[in-house]
Amino acid sequence: MKKQLFEGNGVVLRVGELYLKGGNRHLFMNAMVANVKRVFRDRDDISVLSGQGRIFLHGACDEDVLDRLRWVFGISSYSPVVFCKKDIEAITANAVSLATQFHGDADTVFRIAARRSDKSFSHTSAQLGVEVGSAVNVATGFGVDLEQPDLSIGIEVGREWTFLWTEQLKGGGGLPVGTSGRAALLLSGGIDSPVAGHMLQKRGVSLTGIYFHAFPYTSDGAKNKVIELAEVLAKRQKKFKLCVVPFAKVQEALRDAANPGYLVLLYRRAMIRIAERLAEQDGIKALATGENLGQVASQTLENMAAVEDAATMPILRPILAMDKIETINIARDIGTYDISIQPFEDCCTLFVPAHPETKGTAKTAAKFESRGNWHEALEEAIENTEVIML
């Protein structure tokens, strides 16, 4: 960051895992800064600066700012701050102001947590704590408790900045989106696949969505629901491509050629083949699903192996071992749950038998596939895929 002193409101963003990246750390930090700037591209009142392993927003600190930061991955925590001049009088005045805004009572206790990274500053960290703490005590009557305070006032005196804060909010963690490659997410209208996408974005993966739409058996309401889910994920990355695949004819062709118990496996094998073709067009080298081990009859180890037999790319399953309640809690947290439970049928529910095979094999699936003339329908589905850019 260029040498400059600034005042007013803002936010300091702290990075966590990025510190472990050694010689490549600057690449992750550059991606982090770019993602933060993108999130605030429509806010002319905010400047984004970086330096000394931190990222700073200067100019505003309202609820909209804090909400937008919540799912910018790579941030371990963030704090609304007040920037001020680098002198003891300004620091003390701002600390007193923050303390008097705190809704305390006669039993309130506080502490000053001071850090002086600029060793040329007139006061040491300990001296800052004593002098500023004394002023706060006189102004508010609050007692001092260094171990379990009701109010903690942080002070940092750096070479280019000085700022104070009273709260530390949890960030999304993980890695900046775009630093871990790209994957094609098989996105349905259910609860699981959007959460799977969220988990991959948290690990730095940029997503393309692929939705299998079984019109006329499913309505446009089902398609619109998936678009809404994709829009949530799209907010976390530069752009989001959603491929809407017309899948009904493929399902019809497979239904007419196979044992009903194997239909779900055959549908999923066809989805994998189509998804790989679409992914290859964009240079994507991995697929991702919201599969969860044992959650439904079709998601057994045997069936997953039978489906994966149709793939040449790795298939990522980020929620494979999660409890359903865990998945629901994440969906609520990221804002997809209420969308996912909208009552529109998904294509996966079509032609599903009462008793699906739970221990399918790739050999048997391939035998059924050899009977039907479904390849033409598959090629037609790829050719007629609709692309929506979010």
Q: How far apart are CA 326 and CA 48, in angstroms?
A: 34
CA distances (Å), 78 to each of 167, 173, 218, 307, in order? 8, 11, 43, 42
Distance CA 41, CA 59 (A): 14
| Average pLDDT value for residue range 344-370 | 82
- What distance lies between CA 191 and its chain's CA centroid? 15
Residue 371 has pLDDT above 90, yes or no: no
pLDDT in tens, 214-263: 998 888 999 999 999 999 999 999 999 999 999 999 999 998 888 889 99
**Residue 255, pLDDT score:** 87
42: number of CA atoms within 13 Å, CB side? 4
Average pLDDT over residues 355-366: 93
Q: What is the model's pLDDT at position 1?
A: 43
Q: Are 132 and 112 in contact (CB under 8 A)?
A: yes
- The pLDDT confidence band at residue 4, using thresholds 50, 70 and 90, is low
Task: Measure the CA–CA gap between 170 and 13, rounded to whole angstroms.
Answer: 10
Q: Do 1-86 and 182-389 agree at the fold level?
A: no
* Residue pLDDT, tens place only, 278-299: 999 999 999 999 999 999 888 9
Confidence of residue 109 (pLDDT cuts 50, 70, 90): very high
Q: Which CATH class is domain 1-86?
A: alpha beta
Please state, for a pLDDT cut of 90, what percent of the chain lies above it.
84
What integer best gives the mean pLDDT of the chain? 93
pLDDT level of residue 5 (50, 70, 90 thresholds): low
Query: Is pLDDT above 80 for 46?
Result: yes
Q: Which CATH superfamily is domain 182-389 in?
A: HUPs (3.40.50.620)
Q: What backbone phi and psi angles, to 5 degrees, belong to 367?
A: -65, -45
105 contacts: CB under 8 Å, gap ≥ 6: none
Q: Is the pLDDT of residue 210 over 50?
A: yes
- Tokens 């997953």 -> residue: 304
The verdict on whether omega for the bond into residue 194 sits within 30 degrees of 0, i.e. cis, is no
pTM: 0.92
**Span 89-157: which CATH code?**
3.30.2300.10
> So what's the pLDDT on residue 351?
63
Helix or strand (DSSP H, E) at 242 = strand 241-246
What are the residue ranges spanned by the domains of the chain? 1-86, 89-157, 182-389
Question: Mean pLDDT, to the nearest integer, of 63-82?
Answer: 96
Higher pLDDT, 138 or 26: 138
Q: Phi-psi category of 2—alpha, beta or left, where left has phi over 0 and alpha has psi -120 to 50?
A: beta
Q: Give me the pLDDT at residue 237, please.
A: 96
User: Cβ contacts of residue 44 below 8 Å, gap of 6+?
Assistant: none
Residue 204 has pLDDT above 60, yes or no: yes
Q: Tens digits of per-residue pLDDT, 298-334?
A: 899 999 999 999 999 999 999 999 999 999 999 999 9
Q: Looking at 20-29, 161-170, 283-292, which range is the least confident one?
A: 20-29
CA geometry: angle at 44 spanning 41 and 45, to 5°?
125
| Residue 45 to residue 38: CA distance in whole angstroms | 14
pLDDT, residue 247, reads 96
Q: How far is CA 157 from CA 35, 61, 77, in A?
A: 27, 20, 19
Q: Which helix (H) or strand (E) holds 21?
A: none
Which of 129-138, 202-211, 249-258 has the least mean pLDDT? 249-258
